[in-house]
């Protein structure tokens, strides 16, 4: 079957984005939802327990998670220089937020994989833990490769 260049790049872009949503977007949204929910309970914010308020925290968490997934997909497709787009202030904020989020997601994914491996000695749990660890390693490898490619490109300018 013949795939045109535009269709092939669309497929690559779509698969990359879906992969980052699964590996980065949803975990970030989940963790952020727990953190914001706990903070709201600790601060006794009763308005967040009503129906509109109870949708606010998961909604904000999901938007932030999807935005980070989009940034990760852009980095995988275009290299680390893609974070520098826009004004200097936005680029610095984008770099800092992405670095903290990426490190947190990788640490959390590796921790979850290690927990699954050591939880029980059932073969399905071990395989699941190994797949999670492999996914984290793959994301780390691809992000590092893009980062170093961007650094080499920056030195050659």
Q: What is the mean pLDDT of residues 45-61?
A: 77
Spatial separation of the C-alpha atoms in residues 110 and 140, rounded to whole Å: 11
Give me the torsion for CA of 5, 7, 150, 142, rounded to 10°.
-120
Indicate the range of 3-7, 18-22, 52-56, 57-61 predicted with least confidence: 3-7
Spatial separation of the C-alpha atoms in residues 11 and 36, rounded to whole Å: 35
Spatial separation of the C-alpha atoms in residues 89 and 129, rounded to whole Å: 39
Task: Pick the closest to residue 21 from 85, 71, 90 (CA basis).
Answer: 71
Here the contacts of 123-127 (C-beta below 8 Å, separation 24 or greater) are none
Task: Pick the closest to residue 16 from 96, 113, 99, 82 (CA basis).
Answer: 82
Per-chain mean pLDDT for the chain: 77
Q: Are 125 and 98 in contact (CB under 8 A)?
A: no
Q: What is the mean pLDDT of residues 149-157?
A: 63
Helix ranges (H only) for 4-156 are 5-20, 26-42, 51-78, 88-119, 123-155
Q: What is the mean pLDDT of residues 50-69?
A: 84
pTM (predicted TM-score): 0.60
Q: What angle do CA 145, 82, 76 make, to 5 degrees?
A: 40
Percent of the chain at pLDDT > 90 equals 3
Spatial separation of the C-alpha atoms in residues 24 and 27, rounded to whole Å: 6
Tokens 């970030």 locate to: 28
Residues 96-117 have pLDDT tens digits of 887 777 777 677 777 776 776 6
Task: Pick the closest to residue 20 from 75, 63, 61 (CA basis).
Answer: 75
């Amino acid at each position: 079957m013949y795939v045109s260049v535009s269709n092939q790049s669309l497929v690559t872009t779509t698969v990359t984005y879906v992969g980052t949503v699964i590996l980065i977007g949803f975990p970030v949204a989940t963790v952020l939802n727990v953190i914001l929910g706990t903070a709201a309970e600790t601060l006794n914010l009763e308005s967040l327990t009503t129906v509109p308020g109870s949708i606010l925290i998961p909604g904000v968490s999901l938007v932030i998670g999807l935005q980070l997934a989009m940034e990760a997909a852009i980095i995988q497709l275009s290299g680390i220089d893609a974070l520098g787009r826009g004004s200097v202030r936005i680029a610095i904020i984008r770099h800092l937020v992405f670095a903290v989020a990426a490190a947190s997601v990788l640490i959390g994914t590796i921790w979850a994989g290690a927990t699954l491996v050591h939880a029980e000695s059932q073969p399905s749990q071990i395989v699941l833990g190994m797949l999670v660890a492999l996914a984290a390693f793959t994301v780390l490898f691809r992000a590092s490769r893009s980062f170093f490619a961007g650094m080499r490109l920056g030195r050659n300018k």
